[in-house]
Structure 1
Amino acid sequence: MKKTFVLVVLFILPIVAYLFFASGVNNFGKLPTLTENVIDISTIDDGNTFKNKITVLGFLGNNIELKKGNAFNLNQKIYKPFYQFNDFQFVMIVPKGSEEKVEELKSELGGLVDIEKWKFVFGDEDQIKNIFNSLKTDVSLDEHLGTSYVFIIDKDKNLRGRKKDEDVGTKYGFNTTSVAELNNKMEDDVKIILAEYRLALKKNNADR
């Protein structure tokens, strides 16, 4: 009996543990799709697109001076750790007429890190609302056509998020006013979607 018990402990339990954690990794390795076929940013600016990019999408509004703190939080907590990954970008949609304010913001952000992958796209009210509404979230734009929330868009133009967030249930976006939310939730979700595409790439290469 003792030999059998020792054999179980030494050989069987590690296999069971491995299978348990392996299945957990598989379940954890996908960030849920919440909305499919988000309107592409190319409808506003044909030099930019969501296709084949992992995008953090934001709507700054025309009161950019009041959104600088949000942009700095996002820059430090999310952009800076991940911007060197291939196919990763930030897209900020801004109302036309805000070009000068955007240049000022870019200058300040650029003092902290290379902001090559920060993309600013200018649109009119209808264009901005069309893209925002296509996200189909529980968040609203304010009177300045902005929001403090940002959203993760995958390479197929789908909105990714959480279906079972412990605080709000379905979580469509992340509040850039909250450093804790960026640290504790958004950073994790960005890691998941980046890992998802890395694993898919490795599998495709292995199958060739």
Structure 2
Amino acid sequence: MKKAFVLVVLFVFPLVAYLFFASGVNNFGKLPILTENIPSLETIDTKLTLDDKITILGFIGNDVKGRKGNAFNLNQKIYKRFSKFKDFQMVILVSKGSEAEVQSLKKELGTLSDVEKWNFAFASDAEIASFFETLDVNVNLDKNLSTPYVFIIDKDRNLRGRNDDEDEGVKYGFNTSSVAELNNKMEDDVKIILAEYRLALKKNNANRSN
């Protein structure tokens, strides 16, 4: 009896667990599209693109110092974990005239991680407000054209989020003021979208080899 129990624990249970999680990835492994066709960034910064990138998009506006803590939370909990992925990037919209403050922020972030994929796009206040409106989300920019929320944009320039979040119902963005939210929700959702593209790539490669 003991041997049978040991065999179940060692072999059967891991197999059942694998099948459970594999089923979960297949059935629940896609983040819903909440807003389609986010505009291209090239009109603001010709060196940046959202196409073919998994982008974490944020808005600091003219409050670089006030959002420093949010940037550090995002860097430690999300950026450092996923920055090694080839198509991953951060894009933060900042008001023109804040260049020196951004350089200081990047220098501080650089003491903690490689900041190669931290991108800051400098825009007029009108451009920031207009671009934010296209996201069609349920949060607003403050008077400084800033928000603690960041958004996941997929490779086709669609905003991804949750339509069945246990706390908010529809969840468009992630509050970088909350380490718990970054740990418990955003990290999972970034993992899901990365897994989604990896699975699609494997299928394409398999189809080509057939």
TM-score under structure 1 normalisation?
A: 0.90
Aligned position for 1:30: 30
Q: What's the secondary structure of 2:37's corresponding residue?
A: coil
Cα deviation code 1:41-100 (max 9, x no counterpart): 112011101000000000012121111100000000000010000110000000101001
Cα separation, 2, equivalents of 1:50 and 1:139? 21
Cα separation, 2, equivalents of 1:22 and 1:74? 29
Aligned position for 1:53: 53
For the structure 1 residues 67 and 202, does the alpha-carbon distance in structure 2 shift closer, same or farther, using more than 3 Å as the test?
A: same
Aligned position for 1:124: 124
Amino-acid identity (%)? 68
Cα separation, 1, equivalents of 2:66 and 2:194? 30
- In terms of mean alpha carbon deviation, does 25-34 or 169-178 score higher? 25-34
Contact 1:73 1:179 in 2 (8 A): yes
In the alignment, structure 1 segments of 5+ residues that lack a partner are: 1-13
For the structure 1 residues 66 and 200, does the alpha-carbon distance in structure 2 shift closer, same or farther, using more than 3 Å as the test?
A: same
Contact 1:39 1:134 in 2 (8 A): yes
How far did residue 128 of structure 1 move? 0.8
For the structure 1 residues 16 and 98, does the alpha-carbon distance in structure 2 shift closer, same or farther, using more than 3 Å as the test?
A: closer
Contact 2:44 2:123 in 1 (8 A): yes
For the structure 1 residues 187 and 21, does the alpha-carbon distance in structure 2 shift closer, same or farther, using more than 3 Å as the test?
A: closer
Aligned position for 1:67: 67
Cα separation, 2, equivalents of 1:77 and 1:18? 27
Contact 2:61 2:125 in 1 (8 A): no
Cα deviation code 1:11-70 (max 9, x no counterpart): xxx999877654432122101100000112112011101000000000012121111100
Cα separation, 1, equivalents of 2:127 and 2:152? 19
Aligned position for 2:90: 90
Cα separation, 2, equivalents of 1:18 and 1:195? 16
For the structure 1 residues 176 and 20, does the alpha-carbon distance in structure 2 shift closer, same or farther, using more than 3 Å as the test?
A: closer
In the alignment, structure 2 segments of 5+ residues that lack a partner are: 1-13
Cα separation, 2, equivalents of 1:129 and 1:40? 15
Q: Which amino acid aligns with 1:56?
A: I
For the structure 1 residues 195 and 18, does the alpha-carbon distance in structure 2 shift closer, same or farther, using more than 3 Å as the test?
A: closer
Cα deviation code 1:159-193 (max 9, x no counterpart): 00000000000000000000000000000000000
Note the aligned Cα RMSD (angstroms).
1.9
Q: How many residues get paired?
A: 197
Cα separation, 1, equivalents of 2:142 and 2:77? 24
Q: What's the secondary structure of 2:34's corresponding residue?
A: strand
Aligned position for 2:204: 204
